[in-house]
A = this chain, B = another copy of it.
Amino acid sequence: MTTDVLTLGEAMASFRVAGRIGFGRPLTPDLAGAESNVAIGLSRLGHSVEWLGRVGADPFGPEVLRALRAEGVTVSHTVVDETAPTGVMFLEQRTADLTRVEYRRAGSAGSGLRIDDLWPTAMDRLRVLHLTGITPALSDSAAATVARAAELASAAGVLVSLDVNHRSRLWSRDDASATLRPLLPHVTLLVAGVDELDVVADGDEDRAVGELFATGVQQVAVKRGAVGASLYTTQGRLDAAAIPVTPIDPVGAGDAFCAGLLSGILDDLDPTARLDRAVLMGAWAVSTAGDWQGLPTRAELPDIATHRQGETVR
């Protein structure tokens, strides 16, 4: 069986609470991780995906694997590390508009990802390798693993996708720049939020995209939140407006967007259709609760654009 996409990173137990974290107020854990979100998004759209990472031998590690398997994501190379805990994070919705994350992932099993976790034939029969700028922030060995994976994949002719995903609680913009820029020669598709482009390139958006293309990147996608997104290819810039939806949970929009974009690439859609799918996926993510739980199946995908708001299908 071929695998369309491989992605690697840290998946955690994320504890969410509506409102402030407080004694006596329940929090509900669920799977979190940018790469696993993308993997699930792709799997729901019908692609075959593998996620690679490390989890601890505590109650959370098996849950991570259970959640990914449930979604049809392959986890067969994932390592269960008996010596380190599964990463945990707490996500408190401090106000209606402001969410805060408290990480407990320093020294986690997931951050211990290392080059040995890659296996010789990892890139065979693969079409896409998806990476994010989060994994290299976790540890030196994780950074080295990402670099090696990018190298191996590009050497094997596999499309390498990199989502900048800057996490200010993990490292500074400068550290991120220093680590991510050297990866660019191996990267085919670069995805960044409108305020993240400067991590990987300099100047205003136009110049930055030019600079990225100069390193060998072939597609640049720029996420603009409720505004929409753009896709730069060698043929130029395409813009897509966001789908008008009632946003209820912004977390995971970018990952859904990546899944849509990669799905479009896997299905050989033209750039416009690819961007449209990305934007559709982003809209699903913001209009459903959870980081990935509300993502659509292939059949559901168009529904978010074709029904009027508040409609009941019965």
Contact = CB atoms under 8 A, between A and B. Distances in A.
Contacts of A288: 19-20, 94-96
A251 interface: yes
B21 A245 contact: no
A25 B28 contact: yes
A35 interface: no
A163 to B, nearest CB: 15
Contacts of A311: 97-99
A169 B29 CA distance: 24
A312 B251 contact: yes
Contact of A95 (B94, B225, B284): B284
A172 interface: no
Contacts of A251: 312
Nearest to A299: B57
A30 interface: yes
Nearest to A226: B310
Contact of A98 (B26, B101, B293, B313): B313
Nearest to A66: B70
Given A20-B59, A21-B63, A97 B245 contact: yes
A89 B59 CA distance: 12
Interface stretch (A141-149, A261-269, A301-309): A301-309
B313 A100 contact: yes
8 contacts: A18-B289, A21-B60, A23-B30, A23-B63, A23-B66, A24-B28, A99-B312, A100-B312
Interface of A: 13, 15, 18-31, 58-60, 62-63, 66-67, 69-72, 85, 88-92, 94-104, 167-169, 225-226, 245-248, 250-251, 284, 287-290, 293-294, 297, 300, 303-304, 307-314
